[in-house]
Structure 1
Protein backbone atom coordinates (compact mmCIF):
# COMPACT_ATOMS: atom_id res chain seq x y z
CA UNK A 1 0.00 0.00 0.00
CA UNK A 2 1.72 3.16 -1.12
CA UNK A 3 -0.74 5.64 0.42
CA UNK A 4 -1.00 5.81 4.20
CA UNK A 5 -4.30 4.38 5.41
CA UNK A 6 -5.73 4.56 8.87
CA UNK A 7 -5.16 1.34 10.91
CA UNK A 8 -2.67 -0.06 8.38
CA UNK A 9 0.84 -0.40 9.76
CA UNK A 10 4.03 -1.21 7.86
CA UNK A 11 3.67 -5.00 8.09
CA UNK A 12 0.04 -4.98 6.95
CA UNK A 13 0.89 -2.54 4.16
CA UNK A 14 3.69 -4.87 3.00
CA UNK A 15 1.31 -7.84 2.95
CA UNK A 16 -1.19 -5.84 0.91
CA UNK A 17 1.49 -4.78 -1.58
CA UNK A 18 2.66 -8.37 -1.92
CA UNK A 19 -0.85 -9.52 -2.87
CA UNK A 20 -1.20 -6.73 -5.44
CA UNK A 21 -3.15 -4.14 -3.47
CA UNK A 22 -1.16 -0.95 -3.77
CA UNK A 23 -3.72 1.84 -3.57
CA UNK A 24 -6.73 2.71 -1.44
CA UNK A 25 -8.84 2.48 -4.61
CA UNK A 26 -7.78 -1.14 -5.17
CA UNK A 27 -8.65 -1.96 -1.57
CA UNK A 28 -12.02 -0.24 -1.90
CA UNK A 29 -12.74 -2.11 -5.13
CA UNK A 30 -12.38 -5.58 -3.58
CA UNK A 31 -13.37 -4.82 0.01
CA UNK A 32 -11.96 -5.76 3.37
CA UNK A 33 -12.95 -9.43 3.38
CA UNK A 34 -11.57 -10.20 -0.10
CA UNK A 35 -8.33 -8.38 0.76
CA UNK A 36 -8.03 -10.39 3.97
CA UNK A 37 -8.62 -13.62 2.02
CA UNK A 38 -5.91 -12.66 -0.48
CA UNK A 39 -3.45 -12.09 2.34
CA UNK A 40 -4.35 -15.46 3.91
CA UNK A 41 -4.13 -17.29 0.56
CA UNK A 42 -0.68 -15.79 0.01
CA UNK A 43 0.50 -17.74 3.06
CA UNK A 44 0.57 -14.97 5.62
CA UNK A 45 -1.06 -15.57 8.98
CA UNK A 46 -2.81 -12.36 9.99
CA UNK A 47 -5.18 -12.22 12.93
CA UNK A 48 -8.74 -11.01 12.64
CA UNK A 49 -7.45 -7.61 13.70
CA UNK A 50 -6.24 -7.14 10.11
CA UNK A 51 -9.75 -7.81 8.84
CA UNK A 52 -11.16 -5.25 11.26
CA UNK A 53 -8.37 -2.80 10.42
CA UNK A 54 -9.10 -3.07 6.71
CA UNK A 55 -12.79 -2.42 7.30
CA UNK A 56 -11.91 0.51 9.56
CA UNK A 57 -9.60 1.89 6.88
CA UNK A 58 -12.42 1.73 4.34
CA UNK A 59 -14.80 3.45 6.77
CA UNK A 60 -12.12 5.91 7.93
CA UNK A 61 -12.55 4.96 11.57
CA UNK A 62 -10.41 3.21 14.17
CA UNK A 63 -10.83 -0.56 13.94
CA UNK A 64 -11.96 -0.74 17.57
CA UNK A 65 -14.88 1.55 16.73
CA UNK A 66 -16.43 -1.04 14.41
CA UNK A 67 -19.73 -2.21 15.84
CA UNK A 68 -19.74 -5.79 17.13
CA UNK A 69 -22.51 -6.65 14.65
CA UNK A 70 -20.29 -5.56 11.74
CA UNK A 71 -17.39 -7.60 13.08
CA UNK A 72 -19.62 -10.67 13.21
CA UNK A 73 -20.73 -9.99 9.61
CA UNK A 74 -17.11 -9.70 8.44
CA UNK A 75 -16.14 -13.00 10.06
CA UNK A 76 -19.25 -14.68 8.60
CA UNK A 77 -18.36 -13.42 5.11
CA UNK A 78 -14.81 -14.69 5.54
CA UNK A 79 -16.03 -18.08 6.80
CA UNK A 80 -18.40 -18.40 3.82
CA UNK A 81 -15.60 -17.74 1.34
CA UNK A 82 -13.27 -20.22 3.05
CA UNK A 83 -16.03 -22.85 3.30
CA UNK A 84 -16.60 -22.54 -0.45
CA UNK A 85 -12.89 -22.70 -1.32
CA UNK A 86 -10.71 -23.73 1.66
CA UNK A 87 -7.20 -22.45 2.18
CA UNK A 88 -4.44 -24.81 1.11
CA UNK A 89 -2.71 -26.63 3.90
CA UNK A 90 0.81 -25.45 4.54
CA UNK A 91 3.50 -27.90 3.47
CA UNK A 92 5.41 -29.63 6.25
CA UNK A 93 8.24 -27.62 7.72
CA UNK A 94 10.68 -30.40 6.80
CA UNK A 95 10.72 -33.82 5.27
CA UNK A 96 10.67 -37.08 7.21
CA UNK A 97 13.52 -37.75 9.61
CA UNK A 98 15.39 -41.02 9.27
CA UNK A 99 17.60 -42.51 11.94
CA UNK A 100 20.52 -44.21 10.27
CA UNK A 101 23.40 -45.90 12.03
CA UNK A 102 26.67 -45.92 10.15
CA UNK A 103 29.16 -48.65 10.93
CA UNK A 104 32.72 -47.96 9.88
CA UNK A 105 34.88 -50.69 8.40
CA UNK A 106 37.46 -50.19 11.16
CA UNK A 107 35.16 -50.80 14.11
CA UNK A 108 33.81 -54.25 14.85
CA UNK A 109 30.07 -54.59 14.35
CA UNK A 110 28.28 -55.29 17.59
CA UNK A 111 25.00 -57.09 17.36
CA UNK A 112 22.13 -56.06 19.54
CA UNK A 113 20.99 -58.58 22.09
CA UNK A 114 17.74 -58.96 20.14
CA UNK A 115 19.60 -59.73 16.89
CA UNK A 116 21.96 -62.35 18.30
CA UNK A 117 21.37 -65.94 17.11
Structure 2
Protein backbone atom coordinates (compact mmCIF):
# COMPACT_ATOMS: atom_id res chain seq x y z
CA UNK A 1 0.00 0.00 0.00
CA UNK A 2 1.54 3.38 -0.91
CA UNK A 3 2.06 5.89 1.84
CA UNK A 4 -0.61 8.62 1.93
CA UNK A 5 0.64 12.15 1.35
CA UNK A 6 0.51 14.25 4.53
CA UNK A 7 -0.62 17.82 4.61
CA UNK A 8 2.57 19.51 5.74
CA UNK A 9 2.46 22.48 8.04
CA UNK A 10 5.92 23.86 8.63
CA UNK A 11 6.27 24.69 12.30
CA UNK A 12 9.54 26.45 12.90
CA UNK A 13 8.77 26.98 16.56
CA UNK A 14 11.46 24.59 17.70
CA UNK A 15 14.20 26.03 19.85
CA UNK A 16 17.68 25.33 18.60
CA UNK A 17 19.74 22.62 20.21
CA UNK A 18 19.53 18.86 20.23
CA UNK A 19 16.84 17.96 22.74
CA UNK A 20 14.94 21.23 22.40
CA UNK A 21 14.55 20.89 18.65
CA UNK A 22 13.04 17.42 18.95
CA UNK A 23 10.94 18.12 22.07
CA UNK A 24 9.39 21.15 20.37
CA UNK A 25 7.79 19.01 17.67
CA UNK A 26 4.06 18.60 18.16
CA UNK A 27 3.24 15.34 19.99
CA UNK A 28 6.82 14.84 21.21
CA UNK A 29 7.88 15.97 24.65
CA UNK A 30 10.97 15.83 26.85
CA UNK A 31 10.65 12.11 27.66
CA UNK A 32 10.39 11.13 24.00
CA UNK A 33 13.23 13.52 23.15
CA UNK A 34 15.39 11.79 25.76
CA UNK A 35 14.54 8.36 24.30
CA UNK A 36 15.37 9.60 20.81
CA UNK A 37 18.62 11.15 22.01
CA UNK A 38 19.64 7.86 23.65
CA UNK A 39 18.85 6.07 20.36
CA UNK A 40 21.11 8.46 18.42
CA UNK A 41 18.35 10.66 16.99
CA UNK A 42 19.12 14.26 17.85
CA UNK A 43 17.53 16.54 15.24
CA UNK A 44 14.35 17.11 13.29
CA UNK A 45 16.34 16.45 10.11
CA UNK A 46 17.23 12.97 11.37
CA UNK A 47 13.58 12.29 12.16
CA UNK A 48 12.58 13.45 8.67
CA UNK A 49 15.23 11.20 7.10
CA UNK A 50 14.22 8.13 9.14
CA UNK A 51 10.47 8.72 8.98
CA UNK A 52 8.07 7.51 11.67
CA UNK A 53 8.71 3.80 11.08
CA UNK A 54 12.49 4.24 11.05
CA UNK A 55 12.31 6.19 14.29
CA UNK A 56 10.23 3.42 15.88
CA UNK A 57 12.71 0.82 14.61
CA UNK A 58 15.60 2.67 16.28
CA UNK A 59 13.67 2.93 19.54
CA UNK A 60 12.72 -0.77 19.52
CA UNK A 61 16.29 -1.76 18.74
CA UNK A 62 17.48 0.34 21.66
CA UNK A 63 15.12 -1.52 24.01
CA UNK A 64 12.31 1.01 24.35
CA UNK A 65 8.71 -0.25 24.70
CA UNK A 66 7.34 1.32 21.53
CA UNK A 67 3.94 0.78 19.93
CA UNK A 68 2.21 2.19 16.87
CA UNK A 69 1.15 5.31 18.78
CA UNK A 70 4.78 6.46 18.64
CA UNK A 71 4.59 6.26 14.84
CA UNK A 72 1.41 8.35 14.95
CA UNK A 73 3.12 10.91 17.21
CA UNK A 74 6.17 11.19 14.96
CA UNK A 75 4.09 11.45 11.78
CA UNK A 76 1.93 14.10 13.41
CA UNK A 77 4.97 15.95 14.70
CA UNK A 78 6.46 16.13 11.24
CA UNK A 79 3.21 17.23 9.62
CA UNK A 80 2.08 19.60 12.38
CA UNK A 81 -0.97 17.47 13.17
CA UNK A 82 -2.15 16.12 16.51
CA UNK A 83 -1.58 12.36 16.36
CA UNK A 84 -5.27 11.61 16.85
CA UNK A 85 -6.24 13.88 13.93
CA UNK A 86 -4.22 11.96 11.33
CA UNK A 87 -6.34 10.65 8.48
CA UNK A 88 -7.68 7.10 8.62
CA UNK A 89 -5.56 6.27 5.57
CA UNK A 90 -2.38 7.53 7.23
CA UNK A 91 -3.14 5.62 10.43
CA UNK A 92 -3.81 2.43 8.45
CA UNK A 93 -0.54 2.85 6.53
CA UNK A 94 1.35 3.40 9.79
CA UNK A 95 -0.27 0.34 11.43
CA UNK A 96 0.63 -1.86 8.46
CA UNK A 97 4.21 -0.61 8.21
CA UNK A 98 4.73 -0.71 11.98
CA UNK A 99 3.55 -4.34 12.15
CA UNK A 100 5.86 -5.26 9.27
CA UNK A 101 8.83 -3.51 10.91
CA UNK A 102 8.13 -4.97 14.36
CA UNK A 103 7.97 -8.51 12.93
CA UNK A 104 11.29 -7.94 11.16
CA UNK A 105 12.94 -6.63 14.34
CA UNK A 106 11.63 -9.61 16.35
CA UNK A 107 12.87 -12.10 13.72
CA UNK A 108 16.37 -10.66 13.97
CA UNK A 109 16.51 -11.07 17.77
- TM-score higher than 0.5: yes
CA distance in 2, matches of 1:79, 1:60: 24
In structure 1, the residue matched to 2:79 is 59
CA distance in 1, matches of 2:55, 2:33: 11
CA distance in 2, matches of 1:32, 1:41: 14
- The residue matched to 1:86 in structure 2 has which SS? helix
**2:61–2:105: 8 Å Cα contact kept in structure 1?**
no
In structure 2, the residue matched to 1:21 is 41
In structure 2, the residue matched to 1:11 is 31
- How large is the RMSD of aligned CA atoms in angstroms? 1.7
**1:5–1:57: 8 Å Cα contact kept in structure 2?**
yes
- The residue matched to 1:2 in structure 2 has which SS? helix
Q: Which has the larger radius of gyration?
A: 1
In structure 2, the residue matched to 1:48 is 68
Q: CA deviation at 1:88?
A: 6.4
**1:33–1:78: 8 Å Cα contact kept in structure 2?**
yes
In structure 1, the residue matched to 2:106 is 86
Q: TM-score if structure 2 supplies the norm length?
A: 0.72
CA distance in 2, matches of 1:37, 1:85: 7
**2:68–2:98: 8 Å Cα contact kept in structure 1?**
no
**1:41–1:87: 8 Å Cα contact kept in structure 2?**
no
Q: Which structure's relative contact order is higher, taking Cα pairs within 8 Å and 6+ residues apart?
A: 2
Gaps of 5+ in 2: 1-18
Query: Which has the larger helix fraction?
Result: 2
Distance change (3 Å), C-alpha of 1:87 and 1:24 = farther
Q: TM-score if structure 1 supplies the norm length?
A: 0.68
